[in-house]
Amino acid sequence: MNEDFDVVIIGAGPAGLFCTINCAGNGARVCILEKNARPGKKLLITGSGQCNITHEGPVKEFLAHYGDKANFVKPALYGFTNEDLTRFFAARNLQMTADDNGKLFPESRRAADVLNMLLEECRAKGVEIRTDEPVQEIGKFPGGFLIRTEKSQYRARFAVITTGGKSYPGTGSTGDGYGLAAALGHSIAEPAPALVPLAIEDYRLSRCSGISLPGCAVGHYRNGKRIGLWKGDVLFTHTGLSGPAILDNSRYVLPGDELKLALVAFESAGDFDRDLVARLSVHGRKTVKNVLGVYGVPDRLAVEALESTGIAPDTVFSRLDRESRKIMARSFTGFPFRVRRAGSFNEAMATRGGVALVEISGRTMESKKADGLFFAGEVVDVDGDTGGYNLQWAISSGCIAGRSIARLMDKKSSVRD
């Protein structure tokens, strides 16, 4: 038996929930079909459960955080900005607060508070959220869409695909949306893991796992030639490198590339060496490890990194010969790592690729292939940097998709009429 709705939204992540909130109400019959037993499973683990929902600053500064997709994301981001987002939650008694890096979080630092508020808003607008209902098929019928799940069949004038990407598949984002979009005539840009940590060949710093270097300069080399220079926080893991500077740039890295990390804040080995010499009279009696501590290198990292230079960490600094000092200066201004591989979808915080942007209107998020079909969030070929840019995209695109549907519903009659 068919059940009729004005709008069926496939996927109850942030994009689907924001779309719903913006088209429900005023008597519209809106239903969300969610594959998992509960909505928003991925939202709950964002920002390690604290939900870095967006970033502070003028929205025009956001555009640079979406690579070559800046033009496409602009109408959505301007249509529902980071300030709109903050106001939306503040009006419902959930204040946002920024950390030192400009990342915005709910004041409670609980992603669950964000999700609960969105679900409450859906309930208040009379939206049905049907869980354990993975959508298996979607097709067209005159005046709308036919959507099939294992349990039921739905007809809707408008359909929205907000099934997310393929990263962290355990959260429900397993790429189903690509097949659904393709069935309605859409092309898919090959999905690939984005925002991934990097596994390093012959990694020697596993004992440094958990250490983070703020504002670290990272040189990116291919075939001996520098092809990039990044700056940001780097985190050492059990198998390699992570942290914002690595995650944000992982899209440019190939296996076999070399990364050279400045473990101290000097641009060249020569500068660092000159500074070491200048400080010899003050720090001469310290151990080499402790001298590195003066430059902000954590003990454990100093010990492990020195090992690869052959310099004993407890060597008294004044006894270090010139050649060894120069080796240390070179090593700590460009500590080399060879990339073994980039992380898989299981480790990726986002998905590159997705529903091709040329087939979607960036102003409304409506399909150019099928009238009444909309997309929002990570299912489309947009991925942002770390720092709240992916949630802002999911929310802004969901919001303008919902508003566009609401406008069309005002104009046209629903399938029930």
Ligand X SMILES: Cc1cc2nc3c(=O)[nH]c(=O)nc-3n(C[C@H](O)[C@H](O)[C@H](O)COP(=O)(O)OP(=O)(O)OC[C@H]3O[C@@H](n4cnc5c(N)ncnc54)[C@H](O)[C@@H]3O)c2cc1C
**Span from 38-46, 114-122, 222-230, 324-332 in contact with ligand X (CB under 6 A):** 38-46
Q: Which of 22, 334, 348, 15 is nearest to 163 (CA)?
A: 15
Based on the shown chain and the rule CB under 6 A, indicate whether residue 402 belongs to the binding site for ligand X: no
Which residues ranging from 297 to 326 are in contact with ligand X (CB under 6 A)?
Answer: none
Contacts of 224 (CB under 8 A, 6+ apart): none
**Span from 75-83, 161-169, 242-250, 334-342 in contact with ligand X (CB under 6 A):** 161-169
Residue nearer to ligand X on the CB measure, 52 or 364: 52
Q: Tokens 């299981």 — which residue? A: 346
Q: Which of 167, 237, 333, 396 binds ligand X (CB under 6 A)?
A: 167
- Which phi and psi angles does 246 have, rounded to 5°? -80, -50
Based on the shown chain and the rule CB under 6 A, indicate whether residue 168 belongs to the binding site for ligand X: yes
Q: Tokens 């037993």 — which residue? A: 37
Q: Which of 20, 81, 86, 173 binds ligand X (CB under 6 A)?
A: 173
**Span from 34-42, 115-123, 249-257, 284-292 in contact with ligand X (CB under 6 A):** 34-42
Q: Which of 162, 250, 364, 414 binds ligand X (CB under 6 A)?
A: 162
Based on the shown chain and the rule CB under 6 A, indicate whether residue 237 belongs to the binding site for ligand X: no
Based on the shown chain and the rule CB under 6 A, indicate whether residue 391 belongs to the binding site for ligand X: yes
The DSSP H or E segment spanning 187 is none
CA distance 211 to 87: 36
Which residues ranging from 117 to 156 are in contact with ligand X (CB under 6 A)?
Answer: 134-135
CA distance 393 to 376: 8
For the beta carbon of residue 342, count every other beta carbon within 10 angstroms: 23
- Cα distance from N-terminal residue to C-terminal residue, the chain: 18
With b for 16 or more beta-carbon neighbours within 10 A and e for fewer, the 355-365 pattern comes to bbbebbbbebb
Residue nearer to ligand X on the CB measure, 43 or 205: 43
For 48, 57, 268, the CA distances from 317, given in Å and listed in that order, are 41, 45, 20
Based on the shown chain and the rule CB under 6 A, indicate whether residue 350 belongs to the binding site for ligand X: yes
Based on the shown chain and the rule CB under 6 A, indicate whether residue 197 belongs to the binding site for ligand X: no
Based on the shown chain and the rule CB under 6 A, indicate whether residue 166 belongs to the binding site for ligand X: no
Which residues ranging from 76 to 115 are in contact with ligand X (CB under 6 A)?
Answer: none
**Span from 43-51, 232-240, 269-277, 405-413 in contact with ligand X (CB under 6 A):** 43-51
Angle, CA 105 vertex, CA 100 and CA 110 arms, to 5°: 130
Residues at the contact surface with ligand X, assessed by CB under 6 A: 10-16, 33-36, 41-43, 45-47, 51-52, 134-135, 162-164, 167-168, 172-173, 176, 349-350, 377-378, 388-391, 394
